[in-house]
Amino acid sequence: MAIDYSTLKNWPFPDLEHTYDDAATMLYALGVGMGQDPMDAKQLPFVYEENLRALPTMAVVLGYPGFWLIDPATGVDWKQVLHGEQGLIVHSPLPATGTVIGKSRIDEIIDKGPGKGALIYSSRDIVDKATGTRYCTVTGTTFCRADGGFGGPSGPVKPVHAIPERRADVDCTLATRPEQALIYRLSGDRNPLHADPEVAAVAKFPKPILHGLATFGIAGHAILRELCGYDPTRLKQMHVRFSSPVFPGETIRTEIWREGGRRAAFRCWVVERNVMVINNGMIEYVEN
């Protein structure tokens, strides 16, 4: 079954209500590596209920519609899809607890041609149920490797953010824990690929891999530390392209280039294998 452009473009996502408490906020922060140093007072507000603060990247797990592409009516071969890109736009700081509504939509579907796949651009607004305040817009690109040639538009394709051809201005190295994926999955994504060695073997991985969105959150941690002084209100946008998976227990080094005008570029490497796992990263932030 091929993609029908009109059906997929107008996919009827229901508005999803999501209530989260302080435990959920702290669990997400632990899932992206906050609190590994119990003496780091700057990380404590994200993992301790006194003066608790939400990480901006927690928005990616709120109001999530689930793996909806498994529905045959989408026309997508769901076994051949990859999470290609992820973005976050912060409109207002996310509260540490609350009830929000996730409002998802398909922005565009790009037909790369027969044998070349398709791109699905989607976005989700996270809004406060009681006040209607829009906290964040979460964006994503899904690469459908087996679904090109359905007759849809061939562009425009979103540009990627270029990495400067010079030495990074700063880098940040953060360890992941062997059980990191088992913690992160408790924030909502219980795909067995991240927990079950037998499922990982079927997918041709030597062991379960870390969630891409956990890697996204770890990169966000590095950005908060190096550019924002652990102040979550200073992060305004963050966009990445995923390039390779991370195995729990590996070390992630984030390289950052300040570009002026409140912008910076970044990319992430697994230190142990010298493999790039995030590329073409872009941040907008408020400088001190």
* Residue numbers of the domain that contains 69: 5-144
Place of tokens 């909806």: 68
Confirm whether 92 is domain-assigned. yes
What is the SS3 assignment for 282?
strand
Confirm whether 137 is domain-assigned. yes
- The average confidence (pLDDT) of the chain is 96
pLDDT, tens only, 215-257: 999 999 999 999 999 999 999 999 999 999 999 999 999 999 9
pLDDT given at position 197? 96
Torsion of CA 142, 147, 148, 151, to 10 degrees: -110
Confirm whether 163 is domain-assigned. no
In the predicted structure, residue 203 carries a pLDDT above the cut 90: no
14 with 107, same domain: the answer is: yes
CATH number assigned to the domain comprising residue 17: 3.10.129.10
Number of domains comprising the chain:
2
Place of tokens 């901006």: 56
Confirm whether 164 is domain-assigned. no
Question: Angle at CA 212, nearest 5°, toward 90 and 89?
Answer: 10
In the predicted structure, residue 1 carries a pLDDT above the cut 80: no
25 with 100, same domain: the answer is: yes
234 with 136, same domain: the answer is: no
Q: What are the catalytic residues?
A: 189, 194, 209, 212
pLDDT, tens only, 4-30: 999 999 999 999 999 999 999 999 999
In the predicted structure, residue 132 carries a pLDDT above the cut 80: yes
Confirm whether 149 is domain-assigned. no
23 with 93, same domain: the answer is: yes
198 with 91, same domain: the answer is: no
93 with 198, same domain: the answer is: no
Predicted TM-score (pTM) of this structure = 0.96
Q: Which pair of structure tokens corresponds to residue 127? A: 């809004």
How does residue 202 score in pLDDT terms, banded at 50, 70 and 90?
Answer: confident
pLDDT, tens only, 146-177: 999 999 999 999 999 999 999 999 999 999 99
69 with 9, same domain: the answer is: yes
